Structure 1
Amino acid sequence: MTVSPHFDCIVVGSGHAGSSAALSAKENGCQKVLMVDKCSPQWLGGNGYFTAGAHRTVHTGVDDLLSIVQNVTPEQAKHIDMDPYTREAFIEDVMRLGGRRSDPKLVASLVDNSRNAVDWLAKEVQVPFILSFHRQAYEVNGRQKFWGGLVTSVEDGGKGLIAAHQKALAKAGVEIWFDCPVLDLIMQDNAVAGVVIRKDGHEMRLKSPAVILAAGGFEASPELRVKHLGPGWEKAKVRGTPYNTGDCFSIAQAAGAKLVGDWASCHSTAWDFHAPDNAGERDLTNQYTKSGYPLGIMLNANGERFVDEGEDYRNYTYAKFGKAILLQPGGFAFQVWDSKMLGALRKEEYGDDVVVKVFSDTIEGLAHKLGTIGLQDEVGMVETVRAFNEAVKQHRLEHPDCKWDPAVKDGLSTQSSHTSLSPAKSNWALTIDEPPFMSVQVACGITFTFGGLAIDPDSAGVLSEATGTPIPGLFCTGEMVGGLFYTNYPGGSGLTAGAGVWEKGRTICIEMYHNLMLLSRLL
């Protein structure tokens, strides 16, 4: 076994969270920082590479964000409607979507430090933030109206995010070793003192007083998905890196780490039925997402609706609707719209070169075409659409003053004193009766898992199962952190968490070579 020189800090994982941790370590005094990843260089960036780059943060309105975004001038800002997103609103979003099971201290740390993290990414890492007009705003009466609390993303999405990190890492002198899986943690006097890796076919011991785990969840392991999420999850399509297979959870647990959180849930979404099964696609990345369901309806193989497509804003429902699709017969569904909504669908998700579209001038004709690719009950689909249209019309008769508005929860629904559908469509319900009609087939795409390691919110230290106190020298960040999200999550909060926003006062102390060295923004 080869022994390498000492490092001041070793980060496991090359994604957004790991990159943020490594840069923070260099910024705050660590001279020798190493990132290791079991992936090849072609897969650098972890799941962050496959995202849309959305970061949820507290803000007081559009003027508050002009200093960090690159696609809006003060003059253009005058034509934008954007409500402030308060600390209280952010906390409530995480708590209500998680059934109020989330660790309040973790949630508070995420929210209270969210703006500092975004500012740091923009100004120090040079992440090219933009206002997310294409994903989080609709034009209403000539003005761009943002909705759902989430307003910032990154130019070129996750690709732009990881490119910014790579440039900053190179400038800072952070070493990155690829094709180097971590095999074990080195323990010394009940503290973590480094890692054992495999490099070039040989085991190597890397000594360091600080090891930061940023290796993602277990979503790319079919076996662990079935074990923790349940039967059928082996059929889910992996949205991102194929290397997030949960190895570091067992390694940390062997060192005494405590596991917490919702191991039975994950972030999953409506995903292109024709996308690859076991890994994301490096060119199209997030374009396989199919998030246009609030503008139409979703039907299963029996021609039945199975979710309330208008339950809430899209960025509060997409992370749980993937599971609903997976549980349908065959594990797939059909999204359906009429001509009124086709122009409102995102081109990056529904472009002719991105997705297979099925068109017809009649619902009966559309059902017949879908029957050739998995629809089992064509008559049932036609009846579902007929009943849906009738319910929408009845609601409009009773509520003639309601106006369709995709930027607010407009109350246009299928529920009235005459007709109530189950499930309802609670908002944005319009009849599907103007040809041509279009459908796309979708499956379940799994993004990341929610169970993880217990950490101290003040220091990001991994907690011991035996003592409940931090294990010296071991820290955790990103999707490996447990206890934050349960069942569902508000879109964009995962990347904000991955930037490392748990610490109080933006600094933590780590004992390094019997001295204290400051590292900020570490999870």
Structure 2
Amino acid sequence: MNEPDLVIVGGGNAALCAAITAVEAGARVLILEGAPKDYRGGNSRHTRNFRCMHDGPLSVLTGSYGEDEYYDDLLRVTKGNTDEKLARMAIRGSQDSQPWMEAHGVRFQPSLSGTLSLSRTNAFFLGGGKALVNAYYRTAESLGVQVLYDAPVTHLELVHDKITRVDYTYQGKDLSLSPRAVVVASGGFQGNIERLVAAWGPEAENFLIRGTPYNRGDVLFDLLDQGVQSIGDPTQCHAVAIDGRAPKFDGGIVTRLDCVPFSVVVNKHAKRFYNEGEDVWPKRYAIWGRLVAAQDDQVAYSIIDSKSKDLFMPSVFPPITADSIGALAVKLNLDVNALEKTITDFNAACQPGDFHPTELDGVTTDALTPPKTNWARPIQDGPFYAYELRPGVTFTYLGFKVDETAQVQGPNGAIRNLWAAGETMAGSILGQGYLAGFGMSIGTVFGRIAGKEAADYVR
């Protein structure tokens, strides 16, 4: 192995964008990916789209999606908890990143049925996130990027304002390198249940992790312990409601449940607890993981009837089905009388209106707490269907504080040869909430920035 100028910690979208950018600028690059080759790519392997600003039709994107509208969408989900300068950099950078992605092997497809509301804002990867990861690895390796799998980094030695050593394990040996620069793009700490419990409390034991178990946050906490400045709340994360039958780790996108807007959602006591129709799903789906996490036993149930069963992308698991609400309650181990009353009260509160499943339609309830402010149609046409919901954590928001060049800020200012990209710094922009496809935008834009800045430094 040639001695690298630049070591990139991590092997997902942000790491690959940094690696490709840096090697094209003349740097010798080594990727240290903690996962085995079959699990390479972190959360990127489970993604499916990229949120993209564009002034007019672009590739598979329709219409236009301007900077201010994009930023307003972000403000709604984060409730203003964002660094505006970095957020606008990610937004503006997404526009020229889309053709850059195509030039480096990524292919896109038009929005599918069930995702048509995103055709203007989000470009979907042909073959999903795994195809994107594989395309980037092919491109990176053809350009001379070296990759080691099953090579977790255990320590970055910070001396004053510089990283002087990278410690990692590979093939059973403890090894070290002293590259001229380092980019950390190794994700959050959601794969570390002990860390989640420390942040959230014992309820985190019931969380499901949508990605691999290799995103443990070891490098993140190693550097934070050395005084690197942090950003973000350890209890904030991208957490969605997923099928309760999903595996503990790595269930991915196919376990997500998109039925909530067309349903009634109840907790284990058969009581509703939030407005299911608050906003269109791409802007609100990521709040439901946290909402379910706050319920007893971290479980809820989404209930629909036959007229809504084809309005959303289905889970990989079939729904629980019954011919009556009472029979459904029995199958869900819910109190029959309580669930029948909840559904009866909801149905009585539904007001007439024109139902439009892909946009806010104002079809609402009256005198019901909590209300349902859109898509409120009675649950009355059997057979009836239910899905068990559990919190599915995608990535955590605790990360490094960076500047506009993606340079990591240490105890006494910028660390001269350290940059971060992707989930390790996304907490600067995503203080809370989530916007569909925006994690890929942050990773792509700041991965390219970090790769360029690191390459400039080593040159």
**2:234 alignment partner in structure 1:** 263
Q: Give the C-alpha shift of residue 509 in structure 1.
A: 6.3
**1:474 alignment partner in structure 2:** 418
Q: Give the C-alpha shift of residue 504 in structure 1.
A: 7.8
**1:520 alignment partner in structure 2:** none
User: Which residue type is aligned with residue 213 of structure 2?
Assistant: P
For 2:355, which of 404, 415, 422 is the aligned residue? Answer: 404
Q: Give the C-alpha shift of residue 428 in structure 1.
A: 0.9
User: Which residue type is aligned with residue 409 of structure 2?
Assistant: L
**1:134 alignment partner in structure 2:** 113
CA RMSD of aligned residues (A): 2.1
User: Which residue type is aligned with residue 95 of structure 1?
Assistant: L
**2:410 alignment partner in structure 1:** 464
* Distance 1:44-1:510 versus aligned 2 partners, 3 A rule: closer
**1:421 alignment partner in structure 2:** 368
Q: Give the C-alpha shift of residue 149 in structure 1.
A: 5.8
Equivalences for 1:17-416 in 2 at 5 Å?
17-30=14-27, 32-51=28-47, 53-61=48-56, 64-66=57-59, 69=60, 82=62, 84-123=64-103, 125-137=104-116, 146-147=117-118, 150-187=121-158, 190-277=161-248, 279-281=249-251, 285-346=252-313, 349-350=314-315, 354-371=316-333, 375=334, 377-392=335-350, 395-396=351-352, 402-415=353-366
Aligned length: 458
- The worse-fitting range, judged by mean Cα deviation, of 205-214 and 228-237 is 228-237
User: Which residue type is aligned with residue 182 of structure 1?
Assistant: V
Q: Following the alignment from structure 1 to structure 2, what is the Cα–Cα distance between the partners of residues 390 and 187?
A: 63
Q: Following the alignment from structure 1 to structure 2, what is the Cα–Cα distance between the partners of residues 308 and 494?
A: 25
Answer yes or no: is the 8 Å Cα contact 2:81–2:432 preserved in 1.
no
Q: Deviation digits for residues 32-77 of structure 1, max 9, x if unmatched? A: 21000221112111111112x211111234xx223xx3xx9xxxxx
Q: Deviation digits for residues 181-226 of structure 1, max 9, x if unmatched? A: 2122244663123411122222222121110001100111111112
Q: Deviation digits for residues 320-360 of structure 1, max 9, x if unmatched? A: 201111222221111111111112232xx33xxx2142222
- 1:499 is paired with a residue whose SS is helix
* Distance 1:10-1:301 versus aligned 2 partners, 3 A rule: same
* Distance 1:110-1:102 versus aligned 2 partners, 3 A rule: same
**1:439 alignment partner in structure 2:** 386
Q: Following the alignment from structure 1 to structure 2, what is the Cα–Cα distance between the partners of residues 299 and 226?
A: 25
* Distance 1:105-1:131 versus aligned 2 partners, 3 A rule: same
User: Which residue type is aligned with residue 52 of structure 2?
Assistant: T
Q: Which runs of 4+ in 1 moved over 6 A?
A: 502-506
User: Which residue type is aligned with residue 56 of structure 1?
Assistant: R
Structure 1 gap ranges (5+): 73-81, 138-145, 397-401, 518-523
Structure 2 gap ranges (5+): none
1:494 pairs with 2:439: yes
Q: Following the alignment from structure 1 to structure 2, what is the Cα–Cα distance between the partners of residues 473 and 19?
A: 18
Q: Give the C-alpha shift of residue 17 in structure 1.
A: 1.0
User: Which residue type is aligned with residue 386 of structure 1?
Assistant: T
- The worse-fitting range, judged by mean Cα deviation, of 99-108 and 473-482 is 99-108
Q: Following the alignment from structure 1 to structure 2, what is the Cα–Cα distance between the partners of residues 506 and 357?
A: 45
Answer with 1 or 2: which has the greater Rg: 1
User: Which residue type is aligned with residue 412 of structure 1?
Assistant: V
For 1:12, which of 9, 13, 16 is the aligned residue? Answer: 9
Q: Give the C-alpha shift of residue 156 in structure 1.
A: 1.9
Q: Following the alignment from structure 1 to structure 2, what is the Cα–Cα distance between the partners of residues 168 and 220?
A: 28
Q: Give the C-alpha shift of residue 262 in structure 1.
A: 2.5
Q: Deviation digits for residues 157-192 of structure 1, max 9, x if unmatched? A: 112211211221221121111121212224466312
User: Which residue type is aligned with residue 22 of structure 1?
Assistant: A
- 1:35 is paired with a residue whose SS is strand
* Distance 1:356-1:136 versus aligned 2 partners, 3 A rule: closer
Answer yes or no: is the 8 Å Cα contact 1:109–1:504 preserved in 2.
no
Q: Following the alignment from structure 2 to structure 1, what is the Cα–Cα distance between the partners of residues 46 and 448?
A: 26
Q: Following the alignment from structure 1 to structure 2, what is the Cα–Cα distance between the partners of residues 191 and 365?
A: 64
Q: Following the alignment from structure 2 to structure 1, what is the Cα–Cα distance between the partners of residues 264 and 44?
A: 30
Q: Following the alignment from structure 1 to structure 2, what is the Cα–Cα distance between the partners of residues 57 and 506?
A: 20
Answer yes or no: is the 8 Å Cα contact 2:153–2:168 preserved in 1.
yes
User: Which residue type is aligned with residue 413 of structure 1?
Assistant: T
Q: Deviation digits for residues 240-267 of structure 1, max 9, x if unmatched? A: 0101111011222244311112222111
Percentage of identical aligned residues: 29
Q: Following the alignment from structure 2 to structure 1, what is the Cα–Cα distance between the partners of residues 265 and 149?
A: 42
Answer yes or no: is the 8 Å Cα contact 1:185–1:195 preserved in 2.
yes
Q: Following the alignment from structure 1 to structure 2, what is the Cα–Cα distance between the partners of residues 57 and 512?
A: 29
Q: Give the C-alpha shift of residue 269 in structure 1.
A: 0.7
User: Which residue type is aligned with residue 409 of structure 1?
Assistant: L
* Distance 1:147-1:204 versus aligned 2 partners, 3 A rule: closer
What's the TM-score, normalizing by structure 1? 0.83
- 2:439 is paired with a residue whose SS is helix
